[in-house]
């Protein structure tokens, strides 16, 4: 029974084939033809894994920064909405806006806040 990879696995196989072609172009031989010692192969693997760890850490830091920026923006929006709600309530108390207008404005803000929460996956 022969199985041909599909989806993600197929893309990984394609990447392996591309890497092999680059390796042959650079070194003039396949990995199987390379006479390095087992220790040398393990040293190469260690160096590649260390590079991968650096790349993973860099990506994690970028995601953390993006999360922080989104959280800062959401927090700023929430603060503005709280300030606006306080202003609206003050206007109701002073008679410069009707309670109905205040309810409509707060409902609009609630919808905006819900949209923010939905985008954040909360």
Say yes or no to pLDDT of 6 above 90.
yes
Q: How many domains does the chain have?
A: 2
Verify that 59 and 104 share a domain, yes or no: yes
- Asked if 106 and 81 count as a contact pair (C-beta separation under 8 A), the reply is no
The reported pTM is 0.54
Verify that 52 and 42 share a domain, yes or no: yes
Q: At what angle do helices 38-94 and 99-120 cross, to 10 degrees?
A: 180
Which is more confident, 121 or 65? Answer: 65
Note down the domain range covering 26: 1-35
Verify that 29 and 44 share a domain, yes or no: no
* Tens-digit pLDDT profile for residues 36-48: 999 999 999 999 9
**What pLDDT shows up at residue 23?**
92
Say yes or no to pLDDT of 29 above 90.
yes
Query: pLDDT band for position 28 (50/70/90)?
Result: very high
């Amino acid at each position: 029974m022969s199985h041909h990879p599909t989806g993600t696995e197929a893309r990984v196989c394609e990447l392996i084939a591309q890497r092999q072609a680059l390796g042959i172009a650079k070194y003039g031989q396949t990995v199987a033809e390379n006479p390095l010692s087992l220790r040398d192969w393990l040293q190469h693997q260690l160096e590649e894994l260390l590079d991968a760890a650096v790349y993973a850490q860099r990506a994690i830091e970028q995601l953390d920064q993006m999360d922080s920026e989104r959280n800062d923006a959401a927090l700023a929006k929430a603060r503005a909405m709280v300030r606006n709600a306080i202003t609206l309530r003050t206007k109701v108390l002073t008679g410069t806006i009707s309670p109905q207008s205040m309810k409509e404005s707060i409902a609009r803000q609630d919808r905006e806040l819900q949209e923010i929460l939905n985008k954040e996956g909360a």
